[in-house]
Chain A
Amino acid sequence: MAALQDGTLDAIKNQQSKLLGDWIGALEANGATRNLKEQDVQQQTAEFLRLILDGIRNDSGNNIAAPGWADTRRFLEGLSNSRALLGYDSHQTAYFIFALKGPLFTVLQDYYRDQPASLAEQLLSVSELLDSFAMHTIRTYQKTREAVIKRQQEELLELSTPVVKLWDGVLALPMIGTLDSQRSQVVMESLLQRIVDTGSEIAIIDITGVPTVDTLVAQHLLKTVTAIRLMGADCIISGVRPQIAQTIVHLGLDLGGLVTKANLSDALKLALTRLGISLAKV
């Protein structure tokens, strides 16, 4: 691989402001600056160009893993992280670098007008270098997103699902957090097992801590209730807040087969009545 020549360095330096302007123009035209402050875009493009110039000046070569490119790599890692957090996808993130190609090639074409061999060689060289940096950006981006997802997955699964005995024969299951399918399965299994273990007659599923009841959550609830009934026990759903009740109606969910209560204490009262227990003040 041919190295980058000093001429390329000169060409970039001489045309620096035009190059930056065209680059930013290309970024804007492709929506790759959305939600970014203008001054951040200016600062980031100028910084990357400066790092590239430094790298070429120091003969860092075309292998971006070389020590001479350490600062550039670090800069792109920071960029990639911040873009991932802003909700940019990997394509938009890498476009930061790809968008530089067009303007840069124009500059080189101009400079090496009378030296076609050098032009071809330098174009290829610059192109390879930028591609490597783009790949590095994408890899970092992916790592960031994977880390975010993994942490969230763990958080979701970590939420414990306690099964509480409220009374002889009455179990309560306060559900808290997001009922993604994996967790619902765990919840259901532990509840069914406890019903068997304790010989309970009534289970109360409390959904006060579930922020969103959509059709998937409803489907899990319906399945759980069916399984409980098949075991010969009864089930009450509590914690159906007004806004959730209205949403369920609009979704068109038919929960007619379920016994629901607004809060846990109403549900417990109903459970006790069913068991023939009456409480009185002493």
Chain B
Amino acid sequence: MNVRSSGTQPIRVEQDVVLARQTARKLATECGMRLVDLTKMVTAVSELARNTVVYGGGGDMDWEIIDDFGRIGLRLVFRDEGPGIPDIKLALTDGWTSGGGLGLGLTGARRLVDEFELDTAPGEGTRITVTRWT
């Protein structure tokens, strides 16, 4: 698997969520993603970036355009050094929220991408990797 290009974008404040979406939209277009797939990926970014700001206390989004034997994909990592998620199973339950949200961000994002990986521990921050192939 080859990395064609990569970068990092800070996600510190609410406005960065908008910027993260814009970047994802641009990258997905570059990958040649269809409109439906692009919309799904951008929506997942919106959810994960907002969680990074709201629950993770801010972090970064790493992006990579990858090439797996001709198959092009967009891989994004949302990482923060916040409190982490104490109960992963609970957090990945439709409708569960520790704040005032709808509790569908994590589960929804997982359904919107092809690959979803959650790495977190209490006090150790949170790292979520998502990939969508074209």
Contact status B42-A35, CB under 8 Å: no
Interface residues on B, range: 35 or more
A214 and B47 in contact, given A149-B15, A152-B18, A247-B40 (Cβ under 8 angstroms)? yes
Say what secondary structure dominates the interface of chain B: helix
Contact status B39-A247, CB under 8 Å: yes
Q: Determine if A130 is an interface residue (Cβ-Cβ < 8 Å).
A: no
- 1/0 per residue, CB under 8 A from B, across A28-40: the answer is 0000001100000
Q: A153 to chain B: which residues have CB within 8 Å?
A: 15
Binds A, one of B1-9, B66-74, B75-83, B118-126: B1-9
Contact status A152-B112, CB under 8 Å: no
Neighbour of A242 across the interface among B16, B36, B38, B111, CB < 8 A: B36
Q: Determine if A180 is an interface residue (Cβ-Cβ < 8 Å).
A: yes
Neighbour of A212 across the interface among B15, B36, B42, B105, CB < 8 A: B42
Complex CA gap A178/B14 in Å reads: 12
Q: A88 to chain B: which residues have CB within 8 Å?
A: 8
Q: Determine if A113 is an interface residue (Cβ-Cβ < 8 Å).
A: no
Contact status B111-A212, CB under 8 Å: no
Complex CA gap A237/B40 in Å reads: 20
Q: B19 to chain A: which residues have CB within 8 Å?
A: 152
Complex CA gap A34/B5 in Å reads: 10
Some 5 contacts from A to B, beta carbons below 8 A apart, are A35-B7, A215-B102, A216-B50, A243-B39, A252-B111
